[in-house]
Amino acid sequence: MKKILLLMMISLATLSGCATSPMGRSQLIMMSDSEMNAMGDKAFLSLVQSSQLVTDRQANAYVDCVAQALIREVGGQWEVAVFLDQDANAFALPGGKIGVNSGMLNVAANQDQLATVIAHEVSHVQAKHSNERISQQSATKIGLSLISAVASSQGYGSPALMGALGLGAQYGILLPYSRVQESEADLMGVDLMAKAGFNPTESVNLWVNMEKASGGKQSAEFMSTHPSHDTRIQDLQNRMPQALALSQKAHAAGKNPQCESLAGRQ
């Protein structure tokens, strides 16, 4: 059994190192940018082909206006699409793809709140969080396979033991890492929207709205891939002095997005 525990420690250790996130955190990155971009392109094309897009020009212009203000800060070529889906959600994919569900326009009450959502998703891409998640899952799978082989040879390979190891990996490795990534994207996102000239204080109001929209239904934080709404709000409030300073600097440079007049609701 000592050998199994030692192998578990070695396997867990493989989940750190190799790269550093924009927030200074150690990351495991196993995929190349070109591989991730190809995966993002394929996933986005599949979504566009299998989903209904919003045809309303006003709604598309509004989302594109907010997205382009953020894109000017990060650079590159990005494709933006608005999906006809009442689920209040949005995403960004490697390869420069941004998707916003029409339902998000009913929760994000203004351009600054919508900028919060899109900036958060773009920050996931900028921080290579998709790459990190895939790399973590691959490393965890390899580690559990190794542990299973040794456990079986030592007479410990019972279904109960392997089930416990799988749950340990899920709640002790993959979900906590995902919460860290979400928190990083929150902080990077509020900085990004502020640099683009949006009002960062609205990021807090967005999560108040999200909490209301969810009806208070959210998994316990330790069992969720996302921080609780209260945690996110507190983290954003702590970040606010820096974000406000970035916003003031952006305004001084003439960055003052005017997307509200284009706003449409689905």
pLDDT, one tens digit for every residue, the chain (266 residues): 444 444 444 454 454 457 787 878 887 787 788 988 888 899 899 999 999 999 999 999 999 999 999 999 999 999 999 999 999 999 998 999 999 999 999 999 999 999 999 999 999 999 988 888 887 777 666 555 554 555 455 544 455 544 544 554 444 444 444 778 889 999 999 999 999 999 999 999 998 898 888 775 654 433 345 677 788 889 999 999 999 999 999 999 999 999 987 775 54
Which of the residues 73, 79, 121, 182 is marked catalytic? 121
The Cα 235–Cα 227 span in angstroms is 10
Give the per-residue pLDDT at 230: 82
* Structure token digits, residue 224: 């969720």
> Quick one: pLDDT at residue 141?
63
SS3 124: helix
Q: Which residues pair with 19 in a beta bridge?
A: 27
Angle between helices 175-195 and 229-252 (to 10 degrees): 30
Tell me if 82 sits within 8 A of 262, measured CB to CB.
no
146 residue type, one letter: L
Cβ atoms within 10 Å, residue 128: 20
Strand-pair partners of 101: 83
Q: What per-residue confidence (pLDDT) applies to 169? A: 43
Q: What pLDDT score was predicted for residue 159?
A: 57
**Contact at 8 Å (CB) between 109 and 235?**
no
**The pLDDT of residue 26:** 81
Inter-CA distances, 83 with 60, 113, 130, Å:
10, 18, 21
Beta strands in the chain (DSSP E): 19-20, 26-27, 79-83, 90-93, 97-101
Report residue 199 as tokens.
């009002």
Residue 202 is among the residues annotated as catalytic for this protein: no
Contacts with 220 (C-beta within 8 Å, 6 or more apart), sequence order = none
